[in-house]
Structure 1
Amino acid sequence: MSSKTIGILVTGHSPAELADEHGNYADMFKRLLGKFDFSFKTWFVVDGSFPESPHEADGWLLTGSKFGVYEEHAWIRKLEDFIRQVHAARVPMVGICFGHQVMAKALGGHVEKFEGGWSAGPVTYRRSDTGEEQVLLAWHQDQVIRVPEGAEVIGKTDRCENAVIRYDDWGLSYQPHPEFSPDFFEGLASARRSAIPDSLYDAVKRVDQPVATERVATEIGEFLARDR
């Protein structure tokens, strides 16, 4: 497999009080995929900075965000258009949380706030493709309610039916956050405490079990590194 350039499309800013220690979301993905022979380019699409072409990178990675994909922001609509261009060009793409949701929406799926409320903290994801159970860190209320035609759901939880989606050989997306370290997650929970109920905060403010970071990092890296 030859060296690849991965374009990171940053769709949100990490809390300012955590930035010195943990960096931005692009920094987290660079660390997550550090064992692969990748170079990276970064576009802060949340601030209106976009690539000119799907071919400016060999693969694309969409980050998480505090925004909802259904919100009326010009950059979100432009991002949906770009995703469709990347899909048409068959340049591989991976999406995380907001990225997972906006990929589905751009290709004809539906996203909304889950009436059952938040998923936050360590959550067990059941993978139908591998038979594994993977504990990963979740931080979301929105979720994909209907997947696009032709997409395959390969991971779910008791509270999220469409948590990992595969789009043939083109795309792969995850509702949880493999890029979040336990330390960052605990800081995020504190910084965004007002967003979630006190009872949920009390349950997730400390991450006290191992998470499947390495396993999912390998899966993402191998997917983006594959010669097509």
Structure 2
Amino acid sequence: MSAPHIALFDASVGETPAERNVRRELDATVTAFKVSEGEFPEWPGADGSWPYDGVVVSGSQTAVYDDEPWMETLGELVVDLHELGVPMLGICWGHQFLAQELGGCVDDMGEYELGYQRIERYDDSPLFASMPGEFVAFETHSDEVLRLPPGAVELAGNETSCQAFSLGPTFGVQFHPEYDLETVRQVVEGKREEGVPAERVEAVLAEATPERHAETEAAKRVFENFLAVVESEPIATAAE
């Protein structure tokens, strides 16, 4: 069986490591589209055919409720793909965007969840197969999913916010399983310009060690598990 062909919807703005990080973690053929710059794949055909087996929606520096034309187009596309049964995985901003576009609600938390955080699983979802009941992942967000779409299941969370959900073959994770240590340090440094207090930035940077980052290995399994979902989906949307 050939490797799955995944469409990466890169919603990050400007030059970022988003594409590099996702490509490193996905054992699949990946075609990236810089959706924040108006790059989109062809729309699914009238017969439901589409040349990709699944979708990953990246993080972004924007808010999902910003009024941007590319977000409107992306919203229409992910709704169509969800209705076709194409497996999708949203990461951080992507998690929030999928939740919002499928009928949920996202809003400002009034604070940042920043750093290495412990996450508790609530559900035996295929997305978390062979993962522990609690695991560590890196977080950086100030918005959260306040209400899930109708019919969605909350898969994981912590004292701060919903950390994962599923709605059929559509999944979202609030944390960043794709981050390497370099990205963690880069992102945390950038929070100085966003008004995060210097002492908090320094505290998170001090924790960003190879040993601490190694604790996020379990979180990375969501990529392997997502590809297993892609390969098991009976709906043949990809072009022959």
TM-score between the two structures when normalised by the length of structure 2: 0.84
Residue 71 of structure 1: aligned partner: 66
1:112 is matched by which residue type in structure 2? D
How big is each residue's C-alpha offset from its partner over 1:67-116, in whole Å with a ceiling of 9 and x where there is no partner?
0000010111111111101011111100001100000110110101113x
1:81 is matched by which residue type in structure 2? E
Residue 34 of structure 2: aligned partner: 44
Structure 2 residue 25 is the aligned partner of structure 1 residue 25: no
Structure 2 residue 74 is the aligned partner of structure 1 residue 58: no
Say whether the 8 Å CA contact 1:2–1:227 is kept in structure 2: no
Say whether the 8 Å CA contact 2:135–2:219 is kept in structure 1: no
Residue 47 of structure 2: aligned partner: none
Residue 201 of structure 2: aligned partner: 201
How big is each residue's C-alpha offset from its partner over 1:17-59, in whole Å with a ceiling of 9 and x where there is no partner?
xx6xxxx3112111011xx3x2111110000111122413110
- Give how far 1:189 is off: 1.0
Unaligned runs of 5+ in 1: none
Corresponding residue to 2:227 among 196, 221, 225: 221
Residue 10 of structure 2: aligned partner: 10
1:92 is matched by which residue type in structure 2? P
Unaligned runs of 5+ in 2: 45-49, 125-131, 235-240
1:171 is matched by which residue type in structure 2? T
For 1:164 and 1:214, the matched residues in 2 are separated by 14
May I ask how many residue pairs the two structures share in their alignment? 215
For 1:213 and 1:144, the matched residues in 2 are separated by 20
For 1:148 and 1:227, the matched residues in 2 are separated by 21
After superposition, the Cα gap between the structure-2 partners of 1:87 and 1:56, relative to the gap in structure 1 and judged at 3 Å, is same
Say whether the 8 Å CA contact 1:45–1:79 is kept in structure 2: yes
For 1:199 and 1:137, the matched residues in 2 are separated by 18
- Three-state SS of the structure 1 residue aligned to 2:175 is coil
RMSD: 1.7
- Give how far 1:2 is off: 4.6
For 1:141 and 1:65, the matched residues in 2 are separated by 12
Say whether the 8 Å CA contact 2:92–2:175 is kept in structure 1: yes
1:200 is matched by which residue type in structure 2? R
Identity across the alignment (%)? 27
- Give how far 1:167 is off: 1.1
Residue 146 of structure 1: aligned partner: 147
- Three-state SS of the structure 2 residue aligned to 1:163 is strand
Say whether the 8 Å CA contact 1:7–1:56 is kept in structure 2: no
- Give how far 1:128 is off: 1.1
Say whether the 8 Å CA contact 1:7–1:60 is kept in structure 2: yes
For 1:26 and 1:188, the matched residues in 2 are separated by 15
- Give how far 1:13 is off: 3.5
Residue 101 of structure 2: aligned partner: 106
Say whether the 8 Å CA contact 2:4–2:227 is kept in structure 1: no
